[in-house]
Amino acid sequence: MFNSIRVFSCITIALLVLILFMAQANADSHDKTGPNIIFILADDLGWSDVGYNGSKWVETPYLDKLATQSAVFNNAYMYPTCSPSRAAILTGKQSFRTQVYGVPVLESGNAKENIFSRGTVQKEHVFYSEPLNQSGYKLLHLGKWHVVGPNPEVEVNYPFTKNLNQPKNGDLSWLKKHQTEEGITQYYPLGRGFHKNVGGTWWGDPARGYDKGYQSASGGYIAPFKNPFIAPKKSDSWLTDRLTDEAIDFIANTQGAPFFINLNYYAPHRPSVPRTKKWLEKYQQKNTDILTGKNANRLLEMAAYGTMVESLDENIGRLLAFLDEKKLREQTVIIFASDNGFNSIQTVDDSLRGYKGSIYEGGIKVPALISWPGTLTPKTIETPISAVDYFPTILDIAGIYDNYDGVLDGISTLPLAHGAEMISRPLFWHVASRYKHEPVTAIRAGYWKLIQFLNSGKVELYHLGKDPRETTNLAKVNVDKTNVLLKQIGQWRNKNNVPLPPISNVVNSL
């Protein structure tokens, strides 16, 4: 009897030790895999189109509340258009490496004036989703992708002699090969480490499934969406809602591993489709915004644009509420940004010069924040950050940055978000193709910003601290600063073998 009790006790103790060991192992495993991450990327959302940046014309109460709980980056930058921004975000590399300088179909001029862009980011460039996958994350891509072209197989013999084109609206002749041919599917989210893709293809806007494109009543925002990478559901109504539903479903069904969601809303990219008649009438009746000059009477599409941004905000609020309900908020990092500045056909911002497509602040300055309750204290950060910083930041949040040995042009902004000081560094842009203006290289160093136009040789210098609207060109007034920044640009290009358009007459400094 005594022996039986002793054996039973030993077995019980052994089981308890085993349970404790397994629990510790699970805890250690969780520590190694990092927190959940949701990267929300809006499309063509201007810097002033969120309330927390000062404008009250567009209503964004959920983002405004989130900003009070976040590290807000007051000087966050992208490229002037979506393709190079998205390539930089996903790879952590500058445009001269990915050979994506602009949106190929929007580029103009000839091969002497430009270096035309790829539509497809080549496989030699790792996306942040790949090391996240290898470290145990479950990954979902939602919405706009736009880093694969409609015809990747023709993107050989680079540089190209002319800009790439794309199929007409409603033309799905490309679809079968994009769904079945490994030479193309490798450039899609599932070929880049994501476990699921909803909505991601070569499209730059959601209206391409309709023959009438922007002129269709749906615009791809009202169901049916006609996106072959979004399986229709009876519950479909509004595209932004559907993408949020997919995010919530993925979170609810992901167990035993941290999740990463690339929530790349198509909104508020054109076409400007009103979310509701009630909201449309509200924005049509709003008074002029003092900060930005927004008023629906200035542009036909502005009121509809306002409803699309408010819908985006409402969906972000819905996602945050779900995380709170499931007690996942403190385990989930939210990153929010826009891929470039506002579209001047949709809205205005008198507080900044320029708009989408231009190298001026209105084209490249965007809203951005990181929220991690319980880990990051709320703050506003003035240090400038760049599109290439998101890759290292995401890997740093996941706890795998130190193990990554690939080429990166950016740095992790997580220390900044924690309140650390960062050694001052210049930011560079290299846009070697023409869209809204001739090709340029630009630098921001401290408050100084210099733009060098590559074909004409024209130079512009601005002090953003004193002149945020870039109204006064100081290039001929402050010649010493102009020469210092020109030398920095030249040295940067020379060090990195950055290519210039054939007719460019600028010289790189040694």
CATH of the domain at 384: 3.40.720.10
What would the mean pLDDT of 298-314 be, rounded to a whole number?
A: 97
Q: Does 25 have pLDDT greater than 70?
A: no
Q: 468: which DSSP letter? A: T
Nearest alpha-carbon partner for 267 in 247, 242, 288, 284: 242
| Total domains present in the chain | 2
Q: What is the C-alpha to C-alpha distance for residues 166 and 151, in angstroms, rounded to an integer?
A: 8
407 & 453 share domain: no
- Domain assignment of residue 43, yes or no: yes
Q: Does 204 have pLDDT greater than 80?
A: yes
Q: Does 226 have pLDDT greater than 90?
A: yes
159 upstream amide cis, omega within 30 of 0: yes
What would the mean pLDDT of 131-144 be, rounded to a whole number?
A: 98
Q: Which helix (H) or strand (E) holds 249?
A: helix 239-253
369 & 480 share domain: no
108 & 188 share domain: yes
490 & 341 share domain: no
221 & 256 share domain: yes
Instruction: Using CA atoms of 203, 206, 211, 215 in order, give the dihedral in degrees to the nearest 10.
Output: -130
- Domain assignment of residue 267, yes or no: yes
- Domain assignment of residue 57, yes or no: yes
- Domain assignment of residue 397, yes or no: yes
User: Which tens digits make up the pLDDT trace of 240-285?
Assistant: 999 999 999 999 999 899 999 999 999 999 999 999 999 999 999 9
- Domain assignment of residue 250, yes or no: yes
Q: What is the C-alpha to C-alpha distance for residues 398 and 199, in angstroms, rounded to an integer?
A: 25
94 & 241 share domain: yes
Last residue of some domain: 421, 454, 482?
421
411 & 473 share domain: no
Residue 507: predicted pLDDT: 81
212 & 295 share domain: yes
Q: What is the DSSP string of 377-422?
A: --EEE-S-B-GGGHHHHHHHHHT-GGG--S--SS---HHHHTT---
- Domain assignment of residue 433, yes or no: no
- Domain assignment of residue 238, yes or no: yes
- Give residue 151's Cα distance to chain centre: 23
378 & 473 share domain: no
Q: Provide the CATH number for the domain around residue 486.
A: 3.30.1120.10
162 & 99 share domain: yes
- Domain assignment of residue 207, yes or no: yes
The whole domain housing 155 covers 35-421
Question: Percentage of the chain with pLDDT > 70?
Answer: 93
Last residue of some domain: 395, 421, 447?
421
Give the neighbor-by-neighbor strand order of the sheet with 448-453. Answer: 427-431, 440-445, 448-453, 459-463
Question: Percentage of the chain with pLDDT > 90?
Answer: 90
Using only the alpha carbons of the chain, give its radius of gyration.
24
Q: Does 8 have pLDDT greater than 80?
A: no
Last residue of some domain: 393, 421, 449?
421
Q: Does 16 have pLDDT greater than 50?
A: no
